[in-house]
Structure 1
Amino acid sequence: MNPFTHWPRPGIVARSRPSRLWGLGLLGLIAALGQAPLAQAAQPKPAAPAPTGPERCEASGGRAVIWSLRTPLKEPARAQFDQRGRLPACEWRAADGSKLGLSMRTLAAVQASQAVKAWLKPVAFDAKGGGSPAAHYCVQIGGTSTTIVHWGARGAAAGEMGLCLFADGSAIDDWALFYKQGGDLRGKDLATLWPEKS
């Protein structure tokens, strides 16, 4: 056969074996690249990190304060405070001057803690015991009552207050808790921060 007189017929392209393999490889690569975005889309995206206590405090209109132990406290409640007896907290003040305070640890919790649950679903006060009714109410619902000094962000002492500490490490202003069980909202409505629990 004379290669100069026997050309392939029009419309037929002669292919060698390597070019056919190269074409199949190229088709496979295109198919793999086309499925890559689908595989990436099927993977769940990592969850956004939960906001910290200070971030949540600022976003909800609160101000950062420091609570400092005024009276000695036994373990395990003492473990919530640092070595100097201090605990970072968030405080909200309402237009009527009332306030509510939560420890930053309590505020940073994604799920409602014991302190928040006690505020959202209050138990009726049994009116037993003497002294501070807020301190007695704290003990009645399973908390530990103590007295603290709260300090403003710039280090100015803002007075003393009662605090109710719970076994899960949460802490709340005991008077705000006491007033809430009586139907009097002080400082902030926590249902806006934990709506699923209210």
Structure 2
Amino acid sequence: MKRSHAIAASVALLLSASAVAANAADSPGGAAQPAKHRSAAASWCVEQGGKAQVQVPYYTKTGTQIVQLGGEREMCTFTAKDGSKIMIGADTLAADKPTLAALAYIHKPADPGGHPGNPSIGYCKALNGTAMYGPKATDGGGWAPKGETDPSKAIAACMFGDGSVIDAWGLKYHTGGVIRGADLTKKFRADIP
């Protein structure tokens, strides 16, 4: 498969499961949405102490260039006093039934290890999710506000087959007992078995 086809296939996989944010047009530049323009999922995020924001996917090429891709999604970010953060799809947090991302966060499956490259992406892959934007480890990407120009600001997110999405590093750290941003355990709307 040609590299461009592999990249397109990876991007299509990530975006096909992605929910398009409600009222996204009302949030230029990825700014936090005013209460009257928030979706129900974004409102749930804010009620739980997070910041709801429309974000878009970016392909970071070699890590020095950033290209905004199509699609957008409401994300919910929690920031701790120490500056650490965790991002989760607002619809993932507010889902009324368990999602694969919520189950992975709550149950913290053991990391089998042995992942070359980025350990958060390797852990995501071990859980049958994806955070990849191409066939090579250097084909990076992530989610950030519209208009972002700094590749380091694109947050790698682990996306699962049900469309649920969560910060890949937040998920990886949590499996080791480290809370980044906030403990999401009691912030999910659904009862997680």
- Structure 2 residue corresponding to 1:88, chosen from 74, 78, 95: 74
Map 1:140-151 to 2 at 5 A.
140-146=126-132, 147-151=141-145
Query: Any conservation in 2 of the 1:89–1:102 contact (CA below 8 Å)?
Result: yes
Query: Any conservation in 2 of the 1:150–1:157 contact (CA below 8 Å)?
Result: no
Distance 1:149-1:170 versus aligned 2 partners, 3 A rule: closer
Aligned partner of 1:106: which letter?
T
| Match of residue 55 from structure 2 | 67
Q: Deviations 1:78-134 (Å, cap 9, x if unpaired)?
A: xxxxx8232211100011111111112212201221001100101111111211000
Identity, in percent, stands at 30
Q: Deviations 1:142-195 (Å, cap 9, x if unpaired)?
A: 10113214118xx66671111100011100000000000111011121122238
- Structure 1 residue corresponding to 2:45, chosen from 49, 57, 76: 57
Query: Any conservation in 1 of the 2:105–2:185 contact (CA below 8 Å)?
Result: no
Separation (CA, whole Å) in 2 of partners of 1:157 and 1:164 = 22
Query: Any conservation in 2 of the 1:151–1:157 contact (CA below 8 Å)?
Result: no
Aligned partner of 1:53: which letter?
A
RMSD (Å), alpha carbons: 2.4
Aligned partner of 1:65: which letter?
Q
Aligned partner of 1:59: which letter?
E
Aligned partner of 2:177: which letter?
G
TM-score (norm 2): 0.63
Separation (CA, whole Å) in 1 of partners of 2:55 and 2:181 = 17
Aligned partner of 2:104: which letter?
A
In the alignment, structure 1 residue 102 sits paired with structure 2 residue 88? yes
The secondary structure found in structure 1 opposite 2:59 is coil
The secondary structure found in structure 1 opposite 2:161 is coil
Aligned partner of 1:197: which letter?
I
- How far residue 71 of structure 1 moved from its aligned partner, in angstroms, is 2.8
Separation (CA, whole Å) in 2 of partners of 1:113 and 1:196 = 10
| Match of residue 176 from structure 1 | 170
Q: Deviations 1:47-97 (Å, cap 9, x if unpaired)?
A: xxxx8211101111111223322239xxxxxxxxxx823221110001111
Which structure: larger Rg? 1
Map 1:154-169 to 2 at 5 A.
159-169=153-163
Deviating 4+ runs (over 4 angstroms): 155-158
Query: Any conservation in 2 of the 1:149–1:157 contact (CA below 8 Å)?
Result: no
| Match of residue 197 from structure 1 | 192
